[in-house]
Amino acid sequence: MEAVIDSNFLRSPLLRAFLARSPCNKAVLTDYSAMEAYKSSDPVAAMTAQMEIVSAFPSQVLVLKSTARVAGLRGRKAGLRRRLIDQDQTAHFSQLHSDLMLARAGDPAMQRAIDTYAREARRQIEGVTNDMLGLVSGILDMVQVYTPAELKRLRKGESLDDAMIQKFADHSMALAIKLHEAHPNSHGPPKFEEMVNTFLFRSAVCMQIMVLRWAETGRTQRKPEELRNDVIDLNFVSFATFFDRLLTDDQAAEDLYYEAKVALGAIVPNGLIP
């Protein structure tokens, strides 16, 4: 089983148990796994603690390409998971532990390198939050396509009917097209058969679910810190839709993952998703 690991799960004894259970169990790490540690005031100590468990199972770690690079990938069904993996970082993951040990021992070059990564991580997280603030007003417009009766159904926890499913599918595709047109690493919207296997389409699906969840609870006005946390959840969940599972201590993120898997099954024709 290949499971995307939320940053809040990296120190969990349940992760150690998952990896120890079988050599076939793989911990899939995204760039956001490191960002959460790098934003600490002591990134060397934070990264050492964050990576302690997975460093004991280096052959069971898959490191993914950065979110920016993955967003530019085409969605061919063949070899989909393989294309997401950074083969070089995965092959040399054990070196990360050695580098962290050198930094903790006071190696100046390694400390400078980690400080550089930390500054970049903070910059990227701030940029993601700012980007999301710019998107929110447009995303919240999506809620307006659902009638008051349909939103009431959502608040009561009732399932979507065919009309709502079609609206959800149409608006997921429309949002994905906008994301592809705007993203600097994208080659533009691909054909439908590939679109459904792109990271930006999966992100669009997760965004819609998240916004509908806000509408269900009446919490459409989000503070910047709440938005930042929502965006990080969305990133982990979007990646996890390509793999077997999301391992997280956050119930909201876990719910979003399962809802996204159900939504993809409902709106994507059979056979298009590997």
Q: Is 40 helix (H, G, I), strand (E, B) or coil?
A: coil
- With bands split at pLDDT 50, 70 and 90, how would you rate the model's confidence at 61? very high
One DSSP character per residue, 154-185 reads: HHTTPPP-HHHHHHHHHHHHHHHHHHHHH-TT
pLDDT in tens, 213-256: 777 666 656 666 777 778 888 899 999 999 999 999 999 899 99
Whether 20 has a pLDDT exceeding 90, the answer reads: yes
Rounded mean pLDDT, 137-149: 69
Rounded mean pLDDT, 73-86: 92
Whether 142 has a pLDDT exceeding 70, the answer reads: no
Taken as a whole, the chain contains a residue count of 274
Q: pTM of the entire structure?
A: 0.88
Own/partner contacts of 104-113, CB < 8 Å, gap of 24 or more, are: 104/44, 104/45, 104/48, 111/44
The pLDDT of residue 211: 80
Whether 133 has a pLDDT exceeding 60, the answer reads: no
One DSSP character per residue, 79-92 reads: THHHHHB-HHHHHT
Rounded mean pLDDT, 39-49: 80
The pLDDT of residue 74: 86
> Which element (helix H / strand E) includes 110?
helix 108-140
Distance CA 260, CA 209 (A): 7
Whether 161 has a pLDDT exceeding 60, the answer reads: yes
User: Which phi and psi angles does 26 have, rounded to 5°?
Assistant: -120, 140
Q: What percent of the chain has pLDDT over 90?
A: 34
Q: What percent of the chain has pLDDT over 70?
A: 87
Instruction: Answer yes or no: are the C-beta atoms of 35 and 61 closer than 8 Å.
Output: no
